[in-house]
C-alpha cells in the first residue's frame, strides 16, 4: 500500500486520467472492474488497464491493496485536487499565470456561450461578496 498523500503525483496522461475518472466515481475497484468501465468507451484490454493502473500507482496517484488473489485500487489524490493543479499549470504555462488572459482568449475565439458568460458573471459576483 502506498502512502504518498503528502506528495503530488507526477503528471497524468489522458489515458491514465480515464482510469482515474472511473476510480473517482467508485472505489476501491479491481483491475477487471476498471476495465469493464473504460473498455465500453475505449475498447481497452485488461492488460492495457493493468499497465495504466501500474503507472498510476508508481506516480502516487492510486494505492493498491491485496484482496485475496487480486488487488483493489483506490485514488490517493482527490479529483478536485488534480483539477486544481492542472488548471493552475494551464494558466501558468499558456497565459503567464493570469486567469484573465485565459478568459480573454476564450472570449476572442467565441468559445464562451451566453450561458458560460452568465455563469462566470455569477461566480465573479459571488467572489466579490
pLDDT digits (tens, 9 = 90+) for 79-118: 999 888 888 888 888 888 888 888 888 888 878 888 988 8
The CA-atom distances, in angstroms, between 101 and each of 98, 109, 125 are: 5, 12, 19
Tell me the pLDDT band of 8, cut-offs 50, 70 and 90. low
Classify domain 1-97 by CATH architecture. Orthogonal Bundle (1.10)
Enter the C-alpha cell of residue 97.
499565470
Domain ranges of the chain: 1-97, 99-129
Report the length, in residues, of the chain. Answer: 129
Question: Which residue would you say has higher pLDDT here, 129 or 53?
Answer: 53
Q: What pLDDT does 9 receive? A: 62
Report, as an integer, the average pLDDT of 33-37: 96
Q: What pLDDT does 3 receive? A: 44
Q: What pLDDT does 16 receive? A: 96
Report, as an integer, the average pLDDT of 20-33: 96
Q: pLDDT > 90: what percent of the chain?
A: 50
**CB-count exposure of residue 33 (10 Å: 0-12, 13-18, 19+):** middle
Amino acid at each position: 500500500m502506498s502512502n504518498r498523500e503528502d506528495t503530488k503525483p507526477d503528471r497524468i496522461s489522458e489515458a491514465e486520467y480515464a482510469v482515474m475518472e472511473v476510480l473517482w466515481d467508485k472505489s476501491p475497484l479491481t483491475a477487471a472492474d476498471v476495465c469493464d468501465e473504460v473498455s465500453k468507451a475505449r475498447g481497452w484490454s485488461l492488460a492495457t488497464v493493468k499497465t495504466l493502473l501500474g503507472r498510476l500507482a508508481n506516480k502516487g496517484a492510486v494505492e493498491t491493496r491485496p484482496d485475496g488473489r487480486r488487488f483493489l485500487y483506490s485514488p490517493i489524490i482527490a479529483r478536485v485536487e488534480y483539477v486544481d493543479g492542472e488548471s493552475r499549470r494551464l494558466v501558468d504555462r499558456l497565459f503567464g499565470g493570469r486567469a484573465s488572459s485565459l478568459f480573454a482568449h476564450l472570449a476572442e475565439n467565441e468559445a464562451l456561450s451566453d450561458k458560460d458568460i452568465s455563469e462566470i458573471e455569477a461566480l465573479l459576483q459571488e467572489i466579490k461578496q
